[in-house]
Amino acid sequence: MRSIIKEACVESLDEAILAEKNGADRIELCSRLDLDGLTPNRELIKDVIDALTIPIKVMIRPREGDFVYNEKEIDIMKDEILYCKTVNVSGVVFGILKKDKTVDLKKTRLLSDIAPNLEMTFHKAIDQVSSIFTELDKLKSNRAISSILTSGGPKNANNGRDMLKEMANNYKDHFVIIPAGKITEQNINKIHDLIGAREYHGRKIVGDLSPN
């Protein structure tokens, strides 16, 4: 049994199939990775679900830019989560902040509570807050959030390694901390030695999935 879980970030059916073939344990499915990931269309979600045997998480992010969403955008996110529930994805990935760069606990709970059978991951929006530990302490009250996707504050996991290690140790009874940010097939073992997390996320975590 492998000691760590590798989650590959993909944006197409071909990439998803190749990621599974290359040894990914789970997929995060997005669109527009050039914009740091948006919600993929429903046809793609269904196609990937039908083609893969490993678990699939779906990014829920209705637009590029910040993570401060109005009520209309929250309704769109809610509809996408409910769709994901109907097609049996394993989980969804989202993050919601207030204008003051703190976690919007009310809207986070609104989304996390509508599909209790799905794994709920709070994504790298957490890296934009002024105090990650303060916001994680607040998020502990939301038991529906099972994991945190984060680079520890900096843009890549190597630079955030000390924070990530501390997060993984301090919050192991509340969340699975999933380090992300420039984690590749080439550096995953070194990163794991430095951080010691159980799961890792990356665009190239099982190799380059881009079309030739």
Segments making up each domain of the chain, as ranges: 5-202
Q: Whose structure tokens read 């893969």?
A: 52
Specify which residues 90 forms β-bridges with: none
How does pLDDT run across 68-81, given as a tens digit for each residue?
999 999 999 999 99
- pLDDT higher than 70, residue 64: yes
> How confident is the model at residue 137, as a pLDDT?
97
- 174: three-class secondary structure by DSSP: coil
- pLDDT higher than 70, residue 211: no
How does pLDDT run across 188-210, given as a tens digit for each residue?
999 999 999 999 999 999 999 97
> Six-digit token pair at 21?
């073939």
* Cβ pair 9, 37 in contact under 8 A: yes
- pLDDT higher than 70, residue 2: no
Closest of 43, 25, 44, 23 to residue 207, by C-alpha? 23
Cα–Cα dist 171/107, whole Å: 22
The CATH homologous superfamily of the domain defined by 5-202: Copper homeostasis (CutC) domain (3.20.20.380)
Q: Please state, for a pLDDT cut of 90, what percent of the chain lies above it.
A: 95
How does pLDDT run across 17-34, given as a tens digit for each residue?
999 999 999 999 999 999
> How confident is the model at residue 3, as a pLDDT?
82
How does pLDDT run across 179-190, given as a tens digit for each residue?
999 999 999 999
Distances, alpha carbon 155 to alpha carbons 14, 87, 95, 150, in Å: 27, 33, 16, 9
Cα–Cα dist 154/174, whole Å: 22
> How confident is the model at residue 210, as a pLDDT?
77
